[in-house]
Structure 1
Amino acid sequence: MRLGVLGGTFDPIHYAHLFIGEEARVRLGLHQILFVPNHIPPHKCEPNLTPGEHRFAMVEAAIAGNASFKASRVELDRPGPSYTVDTLRILHQEYPAAELYFISGLDAVVEMADWKEPLEVARLAVIVAVTRPGYASEASLEGLPRELRSRIEVLPSPLIEISSTMLRERVREGLPIRYLTPDPVVEYIDRHGLYRAG
């Protein structure tokens, strides 16, 4: 089985996340995509990160209609920072027969040499670097060691100008987020009063 692993804060999840998961699944012939909400992202300072239970519930709500998508608690149930290498080790134990594909933005992958145990990450999974028009190009991978570059697959993706930050700001300002994220996520945010000012 070829298993895609798509991590993120998902605060909240939106259509760009879902599109990247589907694009990777189809283009790379993956059987399933695991959406993995971060517990504590090591590369981001997120002092106001929404509690993991809310973020996980929104992911579950967003992917409910797609049998090829699954939400994973692998990082939420583990204390401390969410390092990719630790997540992949656990997933290797949970899915011993699976070939793992770790899906990330090219902007993060070009910094891979600075990740915790990058060679082990590359041993545990194929790294899928998602490119977007107008952002870092595939040529920026040339600075990585050959043993890392040989495990990277580049996945071109159209530019979808939706971000979680934008959705949070729109909710705070009382603006609609419908059609930027699935309706069950909109309803969850409304029901729980997430992202509102004050």
Structure 2
Amino acid sequence: MPKVGILGGTFDPPHYGHLLIANEVLSKLNLDEVWFMPNQEPPHKKKSESVENQERLQMLELSIKGNKAFKIEKGELERTGPSFTVETMRILNEQYPHHQFYFIIGADMIEYLPNWHKIDELIELVQFVGVERPQYSLQTDYPITYVDVPAFDVSSSMIRERVSQGMTVRYLLPDSVIDFIRENHLYGT
């Protein structure tokens, strides 16, 4: 039975923190693949209005290029409206009945789990994997498998802010993504 991690997010832009988390979970849980799943419309936060879905997808493709265990799952991008994880996992479990899925979340989302849409159904559909994030608690009543990941305090919003201010983002995200951002004048470049 293939073991697949799912890492959802806006990936606006994707950065080394995303890649580090995916690689650590892949290795430590002995997964076969990690699927990066860009959100169409996350219910808990807004994505940047200045970047099109296709541009986020292209940046994600550039980020994972060369890692055969990393794939992109476009299901949420192809749906309209809010991206509720329970609906996504119903679809994935139906499409891939012989896969075992692990949904990777940061500590910020662990704290938010009681507010997730149909969380009681969701925990029956997927195994949650929690990774530490600075300044957030890992305490929850929900069943979570924890993976220790080296601390790398970077966020997409921080990168967008740095880019808009003309500050360096080198070593925060792949050079190919930095080039794409500059070439396409994203985030105020």
* d(CA) in 1 for partners of 2:48, 2:57: 18
- Residue 137 of structure 1 is matched in structure 2 by 137
Shift of 1:174: 1.7
Q: 1:128 to 1:172 in 2, by over 3 A?
A: same
- Residue 56 of structure 1 is matched in structure 2 by 57
- Residue 128 of structure 2 is matched in structure 1 by 127
Q: Would you say the 8 A contact 1:11–1:49 is kept in 2?
A: no
Structure 2: runs of 5+ lacking an equivalent: none
| Segment drifting more, 103-112 vs 1-10 | 103-112
- Residue 95 of structure 2 is matched in structure 1 by 94
- Residue 157 of structure 1 is matched in structure 2 by 149
| Segment drifting more, 56-65 vs 109-118 | 109-118
* d(CA) in 2 for partners of 1:31, 1:42: 29
- Residue 188 of structure 1 is matched in structure 2 by 180
RMSD: 1.5
- Residue 30 of structure 1 is matched in structure 2 by 31
Q: Would you say the 8 A contact 2:111–2:137 is kept in 1?
A: no
Q: Which amino acid letter does the alignment assign opposite residue 137 of structure 1?
A: S
Shift of 1:162: 1.3
Q: Would you say the 8 A contact 1:9–1:38 is kept in 2?
A: yes
* d(CA) in 1 for partners of 2:172, 2:48: 24
Shift of 1:51: 1.6
TM-score for the superposition, normalised by structure 2: 0.93
* d(CA) in 2 for partners of 1:37, 1:71: 8
* d(CA) in 1 for partners of 2:10, 2:33: 20
Shift of 1:167: 1.2
